Structure 1
């Protein structure tokens, strides 16, 4: 694991609050979250539905603005960035993997993985995309469209796309939620292997305590608050 004393933490949250308007009035989604994640750490986030897990991920990714508090990601104050700057920061430093894959249906697997690299101006976008798809075992599926791929293959394309720019932070929100048990285990083995190989900081949102236990640390969120943070168990 990277020495956190030598570099800025991958994530630092200070007294984070998020309140949203709802039909019955204002709802406190996050209620004073404090969290520091050293660079290179894998953190599993567990808790009941509605506890604020996915909202926390969205705030860290800069896809949701907190009501108050501070969010630092890779040494950058996210609150100081406008929407365009946030988009550029995510492009260069943050990978996100969702439960629903979010692949572009009119693009091949190779094109889907190349997209963020092209946005970053990489001339080797397609060469890197091909190499990353090879790394996830899909070198034979470069020209296939998402509709021609199984759910597990689509999620592996999504992982390849997230890891291709070599992000400093990877956020994964229930990445096996749409997969059967065996396929989900294969995808998670791949996720942890890529995390280890690239040294990427990983935050994994999951309902599965066994997956959280594979991380360096497991964090429990309930009612918008971190109620427990304990070491995980090495896989």
Structure 2
């Protein structure tokens, strides 16, 4: 599903060019749940941005679902994201002037789905917000807003979900509920799931844990079936 070959990302700054990603090689199979951990500034979010096609790799090859991003125009990338990717951020990124139902229906409408609102309503029911369809983001709690963001990401049934610290703005209990919901939805739809988190215990919920540092992958560990999670580690 995801293939990165010798991917480098360099961005300009006032002090000159900065190396963000340094020769990333990564292969993720369809249906895998993979967590990405590492200290701030290690390149986790930048790698997700490259996988989403929101940043162009400076060097190397990026292919998602067999499509070589280097051969796609910006318009083609936008269409690919619409049809195949769902992204959940730490900040909810809901449109404040739209209701929960309208926010969830946006990607479906953009895809030309005639059942956009019916499907959006069904997904909001699935995440426990059937009673909040007509509420605006400002009328919802943080946990409820993230549930809307989840519904929006999963409603088009994407092949790949990218989640960047999805519980970072939530309290502990609400965050646990959101994570349980994310794993439940991913398993139900057989979705490939990449999760950035600083929570090592949460990372161990995934079948595979990737540790990044200084723009490189320094550990890529597959958990064996039945293997208990490792104890939490610093970083």
Question: TM class, shorter-chain normalised?
Answer: over 0.9
Question: Shift of the alpha carbon at 1:22?
Answer: 1.7
Residue 164 of structure 1: which of 148, 152, 155 is its match? 155
Matched, 1:221 2:215: no
Provide the residue aligned with 1:210 in structure 2: 201
Task: Tell whether the 8 Å contact from 1:216 to 1:234 is kept in structure 2 after alignment.
Answer: no
1:164-187, Cα deviation, whole Å (9 max, x unpaired) = 000000000000000000000000
Is it true that 1:109 corresponds to 2:86 in the alignment? no
Q: State the distance in 1 between where 2:202 and 2:63 align.
A: 26
The question of whether the paired residues in 2 share the 8 Å contact of 1:169 and 1:201 is answered with yes
Summarize deviations over 1:145-198 as a string: whole Å, max 9, x none: 000000000000000000000000000000000000000000000000000000
Q: Deviations over 1:99-131 (max 9, x none)?
A: 000000000000000000000000000000000
Q: Secondary structure at the match of 1:117?
A: helix
- State the shift of 1:234 in Å: 7.1
**Does the Cα contact within 8 Å between 1:58 and 1:64 map onto a contact in 2?**
yes
Match of 1:3 in 2: none
TM-score by length of 2: 0.95
Q: TM-score, normalised by structure 1?
A: 0.95
Helix, strand or coil: the match of 1:19? strand
For residue 23 of structure 1, what is the aligned residue in structure 2? 14
Q: Does 1:77 align with 2:68?
A: yes
Determine which of 31, 54, 59 is the counterpart of 1:40.
Answer: 31
Q: Distance in 2 between matches of 1:68 and 1:213?
A: 31
Give secondary structure in 2 for the equivalent of 1:28: strand
Distance in 2 separating the partners of 1:34 and 1:234: 27
Q: Which runs of 5+ in 1 are unaligned?
A: 1-9
Structure 1 equivalent of residue 111 of structure 2: 120
User: How far has the Cα of 1:208 moved from its partner?
Assistant: 0.7
Rounded Cα–Cα distance in structure 1 between residues aligned with 2:16 and 2:188: 46
- Aligned 8 A contact 1:29 1:52 in 2: yes
Aligned length: 226
Q: Does 1:131 align with 2:122?
A: yes
Q: Deviations over 1:4-27 (max 9, x none)?
A: xxxxxx100000000111222211
Distance 1:175 1:114 in 2: 20
Aligned to 1:5: none
1:193 aligns with 2:195: no
Segments of 4+ moved more than 4 angstroms: 232-235
What is the alpha-carbon distance in structure 2 between the residues aligned to residue 31 and residue 206 of structure 1?
21
What do you get for the CA RMSD once the two structures are aligned? 1.0
Q: Secondary structure at the match of 1:227?
A: strand
Partner-residue secondary structure (3-state), 1:13: strand
Whole-angstrom distance in 2 between the partners of 1:105 and 1:65: 29
